[in-house]
Amino acid sequence: MTTSLYERLGGTEGITRIASDVVDNHCTNPRISKRFANVDIPALKASAAAFFITGTGGPQVYEGQDMETAHTGMNIDVEEFVAVLDDALAALQKNEVGQRAQEEVLFVLYSMKGMIVHQ
């Protein structure tokens, strides 16, 4: 039986930790940190964790906005999008996620580019 991405990312506990690290990375990344200046960080971390848990086959149901709605009007450019991917990769590596799982997460995140960039 194949282990789900949810399980390979450490289940709810592991994904919650990864999502928290991703948001922390965003807040300190000079390329995108200004986007998070007036954001409720604990709420964002909870939402990001729910999004990841749902998207990787976990038991939680994400009830937030879809990616296109959430990013409409933000005029996110490709450099900012790549900075987000870099932050996600750093969080995955910090949490010792395996190479294959890292690739899967980055593939899924990259697949959302059209919903996020220049909206």
Strand partners, 76: 117
Burial of 83 (C-beta count, 10 Å sphere; 0-12/13-18/19+): buried
pLDDT value at position 84?
96
Tell me: pLDDT of 1 over 90: no
Q: Give me the chain's average pLDDT, please.
A: 94
Q: Kindly list the domain boundaries of the chain, sorted by start residue.
A: 5-116
Q: What pLDDT digit, counting tens, does each position of 34-91 carry?
A: 999 999 999 999 999 999 999 999 998 888 888 899 899 899 999 999 999 999 999 9
User: Is residue 109 a contact partner of residue 61, using CB atoms and an 8 Å limit?
Assistant: no
d(CA 7, CA 5): 5
User: Is residue 90 a contact partner of residue 66, using CB atoms and an 8 Å limit?
Assistant: no
Q: What pLDDT digit, counting tens, does each position of 25-42 carry?
A: 999 999 999 999 999 999
The fold of 5-116 is Globin-like (1.10.490)
